[in-house]
Amino acid sequence: MKKLLAMAALCAVVITGCKKDKDNLEDLAGLKLSNPKNMIKPAETLSLNVEFFPSNARDKSLTWLTSDASVATVTDGKITAGSKEGFAVVTATSVSNPTISATFTVAVSSTDMVIMSGNVEGTWAKGTTVLINDQIKVPAGKKLFVEEGVTIIVQNGPVGASQAHIEFFVDGSLYLQGTKENPILVTVPAPMRDPAANKYVGLWGGFVGSQIFEEMLFNYVTIEYTGAVTVAASQSAAAGIIEKVGNRTSAILTDNPKGKVVVMHSTIRYAESDAIYFMGCEAIVAHNIIHTVGATDNDGINTKAGVKIDIAYNLMFGVNSNGLKLNSKGQSIDRYQSIKCVYNNTIVNSGWRRTKNLKGGSIFIQQNASAYVFNNLLLNCKLVTKTPELDNPSPDAGACHSTFVGYNFYASGSQTWTGANPPGTPNIPTAFFGYTQYTDDDIWHDWSNYPAAFPKIDQTSLFAASAGAPDPNFVNFGFNTVPLGEDMFDPTWDFRVNSASSPIIAGVGDKKPRTQFTERFAPYFAVNGLRMNGVEYKSPLPKAQYGAHGVR
Amino acid sequence: MKRYFTLFFIFIFSTNVVFSATFSTIKGTVKDAQTKEELIGASIWIKEQKTGTVTGLDGSFHLQLNQFPVTLVYSYIGYVSQEIIIENSKQTTLNILLMPNAQQLEGVVIRAESVRNTDIGARTIERNALNVMNVVSARSIEISPDMTVANVIQRMSGVVMERDNSGDGQYALLRGMDKRFNYTLVNGVKIPSPDNKNRFVPLDIFPSELLDRLEVTKALTADMEGDGIGGAINMVMKDAPSDLQVTANLSTSVNSQFFSRDFQTFNHSAIDRQSPDGKYGLGFPSDMSHFTTKNLRVTEKSSLPMGIAGGFSAGGRVFKDKLGIVVASSYSNAYRGNTSDVYGIVGSSGSQHITNRFFSTEQTRLGTHAKFDLRLNKNHKLMWYNAYMDFQNKQVRDAIGGSTQVRTSQTVRMRWNHQSILTSTLKGDHHFLNNKLCFNWSLAYGRAFNETPDNTTIRLNVMGDEVSAYATGVATRRWEENSDNDKAVYANLIYFTRIGAVNVEWSTGVVLRDKQRESLFYEYKFRPASSTPQLKGEDWNHFDEIKMDLETISLLDPLNYDASEKINASYIQSKITLSKLQMIAGLRMEHTRQGYDLRFPLGGDTKPIGFQEYYSWLPSFHTRYELDRNTNLRFSYVKAINRPSFFEIVPYMKEFEDYREVGNPELRHTVADNFDLRYEYFPRSSEQIMVGVFYKYIKDPIEYGMAETGRGANYMPDNLGNANNLGIEMDVTRYFRKFGVKANYTFTHSRIVQPKWLEIDNPNPYAEHSRIIIGKNQYRQLFGQAAHVANISLLYRDMENGWNGQIAFSYTSKRLVDISRWYNEDIWQDGFIRLDASIEKTFPKIRLTVFAKASNLLNTPMYLYLDPNNPKDERFDNYARRKGGRIERIEHYGVNILIGLKYKL
């Protein structure tokens, strides 16, 4: 008996140690086509890499098809460009299992194009078209200059070995120096440039200034279709910059409190996530247009600890949640309290599209931020400036008591909101209602009970008297007609006002824009600007007007 | 619960038999003739009266005799029986010495080996050991309320258990040192751990009935591996007894949590053991069709889930006792519950955010052991030990979050974890030159495997009664797998000489170990397939009905790595025995080369390949002085190390709901100087009184805490400073016939200085930054350390009527469980008292024992709270508090009750 038991136990041990034979061929389960290059000139050829899954698939025979033979033909994985410029989708289908197929999009263009990836430095000369087809980086201590009129096309989708979306990663310095006449465009391949379909998809990562980046300049630059989701192998994730793998990156993301950033006269649009996300830098963000931003819960300019910034004369239109999110999260011994001077910005139609919950609808200040927010125009936004947990200033809770919010104008048209609300939240019919009627613990409408030690929030601001009044009298913008929640920007709009008697300039009653700009009302970089690569960039001075645009 | 406890006491006392005074009484003790150890449970049979008794816990007995002369038959397993005739009633005391049952085998005297697994055997080992050690015997394990080795070990002096989230102890903390500072051996050999974070096996995977004894060594000798600053735990598995022995047990168990709530479970057999990328190759173009959802349906059992456990062991010797065979097998299936309330911020509405987590865990354990020992002749012995252990843990964690008034989220995790360990050790023991030269060796192979396939977390939004899936991140599904292969060779050579009156034992030896680990990790994230919310009750009822799309695949995760460790160690040691003084001095050298190799090199500063290589010179010195026959005084000094785990130096990054965990390639190994002074008194051989003091200087202890890296905080292993650790321990074991008391207490004071951060108002009112963060040194105790640890067990044993009972209290004072970068913001686990009890009744005629065990009788909640001196806390109103500190979480584990039968042949 006991011998038998012993044998049984022994057998059990031996059997467990045996391995299965795995060398048999298996059924094909998937297919993938790739080539780091996806743009060719007419008459050129391109060979595709075909990957079979599993690699020991029994039947590897494929049939090939092209969507437009005049653009490109395909034979056995080899693409030959035709004479016509454009795009062709090449499809490979398994012979034994036609449900398994894969596609590859090839662009045929006679434009001269420089293909870039990996470590880059030097100069991208005026007017060049640059195609970035894999992860790219400006190494530490190196500089890359991009001259006016350059078009940078970033390959969309997960690419290369990392299968991460491309991020333009900066350890050194990057200068995108466009001009008013010849701006720089940073975009995706032409067939993907479709705002209706792709405005909130996040086709590529955006610019990432690392923990050691030195300087970044964006002057007259348009950045679009950013906000791709990150994976562990993403450059921003591998460097530990993003807070959580799976978060989306921004058009411009920074993480070095000593780094310098200037963003001026630029446009950031069609961003899935926040347009600008600063976790460390000294920055001037002025005279920009930020529009069509955020799918679910995203902001225009989001700033954390380690940021010293002037935000001025920007127009933000149709941002998902807040035009501005100001906090000092992540403050530490080597990451200073975030300080911001925020003036003369125009925030239009913010907050309505947020689906997650009700967390701000114009400006949101918390987590120990020290912010001076004045002379801004908040037009048809969902809510007033919110400052939760004011009784508990901390990098984990409320704003610092040095914060000041005032002299802003909350203007409301007569449009009513007809869209869906975040589950469980009340309907806010008009901007006027959101500004003045909707209340929660984060807002003190009754100033008489307002604790003296708390920061002054909007006690000096001008609020709409009703839905539709006062009317700022814009040169060209449907104050009462452009729907709340509209996110598509019309470049013909002109937010200047027709006369100096507009409340934008004159205020209403004793509520007027601030005229004195000393002490904390003085921008940080107006007198001593940010010096980058030998050039000093200065913040524009505040003006006694609400918003960015003034009178015609 | 207190009521039950009182009842239990009354019950115990009422069963204590009151003697009749009308008969002549004879009393005495039964002892081993050679060692003079008291024998517990030796039987004394009165031939004429056809009745008898057995000796109590102190080896004593009482008998009533009503006729003379009578014949008393003394017998005990493994001993030669004796008959003694009592002529008259004048004789009232009788002390008997029994001779061990010696057997003649090719001229060799082999002593029965069933002695060491008794309490006396345990005390004898402790007493004769040259280093500081504690031993628990199989017999005390058998009668204790403990089901696993983990429960057993927490009754030992200076041991604290670290519990998993079902409340079971898994790892031992020796003398207030974190679990990482001690190592686990099985029959003297290290076995690889399948656990991703720990080098050593969790103790709860060993069923206690397989144990022969448990040895805890607190001061290492040079012939032991040097990575046990806290000590080493050796589980000695059952040996073949000289007589055939068969035991079996069967029991059922319940957890009190499920009296009041449903047990949640899911179909783990529907899980795809491999992810699409694992199955078809990396980079497989997967979509939703490649993921099964059959395993995502959570079902509720409203009837009380009953666990079942059974064990079997058989052992004996064949071929004229040359070959000994023991096989043992155990299976258990238990249902455990845990509720955990995680406290968050107080929102602007004034109500606090609390996440209520409900855990439903089903644990299944299977252990099979086979041990063979072959006694070739008097000089050569071979032993082959094999074990296969399998551990499955299926858990549903259902969490509801939000403020106490408004619930906003539901997160449900369905996780099935499977671990297995296969180990095989061949040992040889050879004696030459008339026992003057000994050579022993071990070849060990171990394979450990750990998989958590399709660990799925579903995230839902809650608004009032409305539960919906929408926005991003509705599900995360992870496949994790790691396997370890360990090969080791141990060899020792021992030479005995005599120089004058001094016995000197020289020894030298080597250990070569090669460890390889392979770790795989795939993560897939899913978003809802529709842009409008999918409502529960309308669009879906079960999680498998939520429509979702694959959003991202994390392929090149740094958690895909190979790790290796090569250790070459050798030592020399000499042991000098004078009449009353023994000394051991030794020097050990360990060479470590530990490294990792990321499968997918990342960019940035991350090194794709890394390794650490160092030599450690570890001197040790132990001395024991016999003050008298029953009293020892000991002193020892040992230098020991602690290595980072295989996982810790890999630059990985792992996302959890509340935080991110990262590896630390810069982590340094720990080196410690350990001093021990101990006084021992053995009033009787099964009893002891022991007092010891110890001091450790620990350079670079590895601790876990939140490291702020810019905007986020990462949970990271780190070297945060150097520590001093000073302690006192006391241990008392006393028996009073049917009663026994075992008590131990350890006080540990440790201090480490860590530079931390403090947020203050800027003293300069003109500065731009109104709030600044400054550096400030914090003096604190070591991570995981409890200042006071006390255990008291009360034993009751009535051999005649077959009753056994035990009540065990344990107290652990508060300990640090999370170290913050911020001044006074560490998280403490509050001190707690735990009460376990067991009772059993044996029916010797049918060889059956009925037993009941209850653990965590007080259902003691576990509190984690922030330091009460947290400077930020003063401002917080409406927060739940414990001892003045803001509560981080409260956990309840429920009472576990087990009822069963044992059979022993």
Mutate which of B474, B524, B771 to disrupt the A interface (most A C-beta within 10 Å)?
Answer: B771
B709 close to A (CB below 8 A): yes
How far is B770 from chain A, CA to nearest CA, in Å? 7
How far apart are alpha carbons B55 and B97 in whole angstroms? 13
Nearest residue of chain B to residue A232 (CA atoms): B557
How far apart are alpha carbons A377 and A373 in whole angstroms? 11
Q: What is the pLDDT of residue A110?
A: 84
How far apart are alpha carbons B42 and B75 in whole angstroms? 6
Interchain CB distance below 8 Å, B773 and A333 = yes
Contact A274, A301 (CB under 8 A): yes
What pLDDT digit, counting tens, does each position of B299-320 carry?
998 888 999 988 888 888 888 8
Interchain CB distance below 8 Å, B662 and A240 = yes
pLDDT of residue A274 exceeding 60, the answer is yes
Give me the mean pLDDT over the B179-192 stretch. Answer: 85
Give me the mean pLDDT over the A274-301 stretch. Answer: 95
pLDDT of residue B472 exceeding 70, the answer is no
How far apart are alpha carbons B531 and A550 in whole angstroms? 39
Which B residues in the span 596-615 are in contact with A, Cβ-Cβ below 8 Å? Answer: 600, 602-606
How far is A492 from chain B, CA to nearest CA, in Å? 31
Interchain CB distance below 8 Å, A233 and B602 = yes
pLDDT of residue B471 exceeding 70, the answer is no
Interchain CB distance below 8 Å, A53 and B285 = yes
Q: What is the pLDDT of residue B12?
A: 38
Q: Which residues of B touch A20 (CB under 8 A)?
A: none
Contact B297, B267 (CB under 8 A): yes
How far is A453 from chain B, CA to nearest CA, in Å? 14
What pLDDT digit, counting tens, does each position of B11-44 carry?
433 333 333 335 677 888 887 776 666 777 777 8
Greater confidence (B360 vs B22) lies with B360
- AA identity, residue A77: G
Interchain CB distance below 8 Å, B773 and A332 = yes
- AA identity, residue A21: D
- Which of B281, B318, B556 is the closest to A163 by Cβ? B556
How far apart are alpha carbons B592 and B597 in whole angstroms? 16
- Residue B186: which pLDDT band, with cuts at 50, 70 and 90? confident
Interchain CB distance below 8 Å, A246 and B314 = no
Nearest residue of chain A to residue B287 (CA atoms): A30
Q: Which residues pair with A187 in a beta bridge?
A: A153
How far apart are alpha carbons A172 and B227 in whole angstroms? 44
- Residue A363: which pLDDT band, with cuts at 50, 70 and 90? very high
What pLDDT digit, counting tens, does each position of B504-555 carry?
889 999 999 999 999 988 889 898 888 788 999 999 999 999 999 998 887 7
Please write down the HEC assignment for all residues of B423-464.
Answer: EEEEEEEEEECCCCEEEEEEEEEEEEEEEEEEEEEEEEEEEC
Interchain CB distance below 8 Å, A3 and B327 = no
Q: Which residues pair with A343 in a beta bridge?
A: A312, A374
Q: Which residues of B touch A238 (CB under 8 A)?
A: 558, 602-604, 606
Q: What is the pLDDT of residue A178?
A: 97
Which B residues in the span 413-442 are in contact with A, Cβ-Cβ below 8 Å? Answer: 422, 424
- AA identity, residue B754: Q
Give me the mean pLDDT over the A361-386 stretch. Answer: 94
Strand, coil or helix: what is A171? coil
How far apart are alpha carbons B595 and A458 in whole angstroms? 58
Q: Which residues of B touch A396 (CB under 8 A)?
A: 345, 872
Chain CA centroid to CA B824, Å: 31
Q: What is the pLDDT of residue B458?
A: 94
Interchain CB distance below 8 Å, B775 and A333 = yes
Interchain CB distance below 8 Å, B463 and A423 = yes
Mutate which of A25, A231, A372 to disrupt the B interface (most B C-beta within 10 Å)?
Answer: A231
Out of A447-461, A483-497, B366-380, B415-429, pick the least confident: A447-461
Mean pLDDT across chain B, nearest whole number? 83
Contact B150, B170 (CB under 8 A): yes
Give me the mean pLDDT over the A98-125 stretch. Answer: 90
How far is B61 from chain A, CA to nearest CA, in Å? 36
Which residues in chain B are classed under CATH 2.40.170.20?
Answer: 248-904
Nearest residue of chain A to residue B605 (CA atoms): A239
Model-level pTM greater than 0.90? no
Which B residues in the span 257-296 are in contact with A, Cβ-Cβ below 8 Å? Answer: 279-281, 283-286, 290
Q: Which residues of B touch A336 (CB under 8 A)?
A: 769, 772
Joined tokens for residue A112: 């001269």
* End-to-end Cα spacing for chain B: 36
pLDDT of residue B207 exceeding 70, the answer is no
- Concatenated DSSP letters for A123-170? EE-TT-EEEEEEEEEE-TT-EEEE-TT-EEEEPPSSBTTTTB--EEEE
What pLDDT digit, counting tens, does each position of A42-94 carry?
889 999 999 999 989 888 999 999 999 999 999 999 999 988 888 889 999 99
Interchain CB distance below 8 Å, B463 and A229 = no
- AA identity, residue B301: K
How far is A504 from chain B, CA to nearest CA, in Å? 30
pLDDT of residue B205 exceeding 90, the answer is no
Give me the mean pLDDT over the A369-398 stretch. Answer: 90
Spans of all domains in chain A? 30-108, 355-552
Q: Which residues of B touch A12 (CB under 8 A)?
A: 368, 388
Which residues in chain B are classed under CATH 2.60.40.1120?
Answer: 2-101
Q: Which residues of A touch B603 (CB under 8 A)?
A: 135, 137, 162, 169, 235, 238-239
Q: Which residues of A touch B710 (CB under 8 A)?
A: 211, 240-241, 255, 279-280, 306, 330, 332, 335
Joined tokens for residue B732: 């008392």
Give me the mean pLDDT over the B759-788 stretch. Answer: 86
Q: Which residues of B touch A442 (CB under 8 A)?
A: 348
Q: What is the pLDDT of residue B23?
A: 62
pLDDT of residue B413 exceeding 90, the answer is yes
Listed residue (B233, B177, B234, B228) closest to B638, CA to CA: B228
Write down how long chain A is.
Answer: 552
What pLDDT digit, counting tens, does each position of A187-231 carry?
998 888 999 999 999 999 999 999 999 999 999 999 999 999 888
Check whether the bond before B241 is cis (ω within 30° of 0): no
B710 close to A (CB below 8 A): yes
Q: What is the pLDDT of residue B15?
A: 38
- Which of B348, B470, B602 is the closest to A389 by Cβ? B348
Interchain CB distance below 8 Å, A137 and B603 = yes
pLDDT of residue A12 exceeding 60, the answer is no
pLDDT of residue B869 exceeding 90, the answer is no
Architecture (CATH level 2) of domain B2-101? Sandwich (2.60)
Q: What is the pLDDT of residue B373?
A: 87
CA A101-A103-A104 angle, 5° bins: 155
Looking at chain A, the whole-number percentage of residues with pLDDT higher than 70 is 93
How far apart are alpha carbons B37 and B31 in whole angstroms? 5
Contact B400, B340 (CB under 8 A): no
Pairing of strands A456-457, A404-406: parallel
pLDDT of residue A362 exceeding 90, the answer is yes
Listed residue (A368, A390, A541) closest to A458, CA to CA: A390
Reply yes or no on domain A30-108 having CATH 2.40.50.140. no
Interchain CB distance below 8 Å, A368 and B771 = yes
| CATH number belonging to domain B248-904 | 2.40.170.20
What pLDDT digit, counting tens, does each position of B217-242 carry?
888 889 999 998 988 888 887 777 77
Contact B59, B30 (CB under 8 A): yes
Mean pLDDT across chain A, nearest whole number? 89
Interchain CB distance below 8 Å, B711 and A389 = no
Q: What is the DSSP letter of A4?
A: H
Give me the mean pLDDT over the A254-263 stretch. Answer: 96
Q: What is the pLDDT of residue B166?
A: 52
- Which of A16, A51, A246 is the closest to B552 by Cβ? A246
Contact B788, B745 (CB under 8 A): yes
Q: What is the pLDDT of residue A20?
A: 43
Pairing of strands A45-47, A78-81: antiparallel
Q: Which residues of B touch A51 (CB under 8 A)?
A: 281, 283
Interchain CB distance below 8 Å, B710 and A306 = yes
